[in-house]
Amino acid sequence: GQNIDQPTEMTATEGAIVQINCTYQTSGFNGLFWYQQHAGEAPTFLSYNVLDGLEEKGRFSSFLSRSKGYSYLLLKELQMKDSASYLCAVRDTTSGTYKYIFGTGTRLKVLA
Amino acid sequence: DVKVTQSSRYLVKRTGEKVFLECVQDMDHENMFWYRQDPGLGLRLIYFSYDVKMKEKGDIPEGYSVSREKKERFSLILESASTNQTSMYLCASSLGTGASYEQYFGPGTRLTVT
């Protein structure tokens, strides 16, 4: 079957670096996405990985290892506005069409 | 900027009512999706559509149906609302399904069924 795991909650201090991990199991992997969702708002796209390695976008970076079924989102120079839930999503083709499978999200609290 | 709009932010319906949730996107996207989001369960796919008049079941289609008569509009229908359908409903669209085509989400409709 398909499964995505990520920690439920994390806490970090303003200015610090935090790494949010995501592990997945699927036989039809076709890309991994990270989204940010502030409380009461819609998810917004952060990053995309389909090949192994690190993708950097300003303060945010995302890493993928397909052989390990593992990704992480790295947030540097944390700001209070980074307090949000971070959703890991895998695009899967096991059913013959593209489907997006989401993890339950990691709620990040940034403390002053 | 891509804009995905949903007909209501908050909705309260009674058990047994037929409920329509509307979603409109303004960027000529091929693909549209309906999810529900519940605490501890994350986003779960109800239905999706890759073209006008085309629909495919997601992971939890029971109790729901959809309609896509025009490219920009994707409707979710609860044929007979039940209390276990109380949830946040999110619509999303994407340009395509390959490459880095991310999904753009609407603001969500918080539906309460009493």
Average pLDDT over residues A15-31: 94
Measured between CB atoms, which of A42, A103, A105 is closest to B106? Answer: A42
pLDDT in tens, A71-108: 999 999 999 999 999 999 999 888 777 888 999 999 99
Query: Hey, are the CB atoms on A104 and B45 less than 8 Å from each other?
Result: no
Q: Which two tokens stand for residue B65?
A: 């149906």
Between CA B3 and CA A66 the distance in angstroms is 33
Which residue on chain B is closest to A33 by alpha carbon? Answer: B102
Return phi, psi of residue B13, to 5°.
-130, 160
How confident is the model at residue B112, as a pLDDT?
98
Judged by a CB distance cut-off of 8 A, whether residue A28 touches chain B is no
Which candidate, B49, B52, B75, B50, places its Cα nearest to that of B64? B75
> Phi/psi at A16 (nearest 5 deg)?
-85, 180
- Spatial CB neighbours of A51, under 8 Å, sequence gap ≥ 6: A64, A66
Instruction: Inform me whether the C-beta atom of residue B51 falls under 8 Å from chain A C-beta atoms.
Output: no
State pLDDT tens for residues B13-59.
999 999 999 999 998 999 999 999 998 888 999 999 998 988 999 98
User: How high does pLDDT run on average in chain B?
Assistant: 93
Q: What is the pLDDT of residues A45-81, one digit of tens each?
A: 999 999 999 999 899 999 999 999 999 999 999 999 9
pLDDT at A93: 85
Q: How far is CA A13 from CA A38, A39, A79, A80, A111, in A?
A: 18, 19, 8, 9, 5
What DSSP designation does A9 have?
E
Instruction: Report how far residue B49's alpha carbon sits from residue B55's, in angstroms, rounded to the nearest whole number.
Output: 4
Strand order in the sheet with B19-25: B4-6, B19-25, B73-78, B64-70
A70 reaches B (C-beta below 8 A): no
List the beta bridge partners of residue B44: B36
* Short-list B19, B17, B22, B42, CA closest to B32: B22
Q: Which pLDDT score, from 0 to 100, does residue A96 have?
A: 78
B102: nearest CB among A48, A97, A104: A48
Best interface-test mutation with B: which of A46, A49, A100, A102 has the largest number of B CBs within 10 A? A100
- Judge: B42–A48 Cβ closer than 8 Å, yes or no: no
Total H helices, total E strands in chain A: 0, 11
**Mutation site for A-interface testing, chosen from B102, B104, B109, B110 by largest number of A Cβ within 10 Å:** B102
